[in-house]
Chains A and B, each alone.
Chain A
Amino acid sequence: KAGVTQTPRYLIKTRGQQVTLSCSPISGHRSVSWYQQTPGQGLQFLFEYFSETQRNKGNFPGRFSGRQFSNSRSEMNVSTLELGDSALYLCASSPNEQGGKEAFFGQGTRLTVV
């Protein structure tokens, strides 16, 4: 069974641009979550989607948005990039609605904003 796939693995963008990151969950998983990891702030929850609906949202500005498609694949978008958005973005998928099960993480997308 393929794991969680995140594309691209590395990305360099210029301040003010926008970026879209993609996450393909494990087959059959309907929950997809996104996290931002930086040396200063650690791992912070961005949002979670289940069956195309956002179920949870972290404390991030509206420049950060996401969506989930009917096949459970998810994208997150960051508009008007700032230097502080440079981070490792991790996606995680989980098997069902009830939770309590582990989340399976992808290898992340390393975003550098210059």
Chain B
Amino acid sequence: AQTVTQSQPEMSVQEAETVTLSCTYDTSENNYYLFWYKQPPSRQMILVIRQEAYKQQNATENRFSVNFQKAAKSFSLKISDSQLGDTAMYFCAPAGPTSGTYKYIFGTGTRLKVLA
């Protein structure tokens, strides 16, 4: 079974600074995908970034990038130039073909607060 660990329940960062959220997971899949979703106070889940496990290159999406270490099963999210709108819960989620590609196993989340 897949498990996901987000060891930082809460974090805060000053506006314009950089913050890294950690995530480790366990899976028996070889080919899978990794996602970071954010959930702002509106409660709507929004995709932040996506990584394909077979790709060695770390995914980047504007101010968001990941550090994907497949052997260590680690998938951290780096937010650069933090903005007030980045305040949200952040969830890490692997998904794979055996478990069902759209069956996300979410971590417990990291509550990020960006301070003005």
Which A residues form the contact surface with B (CB < 8 A)? 31, 33, 35, 42-45, 48, 55-56, 58, 88, 90, 92, 94, 98-100, 102-108
Chain B 32-45: CB-based contact to A (< 8 A → 1; otherwise 0): 01010100001111
Residue among A56, A102, A104 making CB contact with B103, cutoff 8 Å: A56
Verify if B105 is at the interface (C-beta below 8 Å from A): yes
Q: CB-nearest residue of chain B relative to A107?
A: B44
Please tell me if the beta carbons of B45 and A105 are within 8 angstroms of each other in the complex: yes
Q: Provide the main secondary structure of the chain B interface.
A: loop
Q: CB-nearest residue of chain B relative to A103?
A: B102
Q: Count how many pairs of residues, one from A and one from B, have CB atoms less than 8 Å apart in the complex.
A: 58
Complexed CA–CA distance, A31 and B101 (Å): 10
- Nearest-neighbour CB distance to chain B for A91, whole angstroms, equals 10
Please tell me if the beta carbons of A92 and B102 are within 8 angstroms of each other in the complex: yes
Verify if B15 is at the interface (C-beta below 8 Å from A): no
Complexed CA–CA distance, A43 and B4 (Å): 12
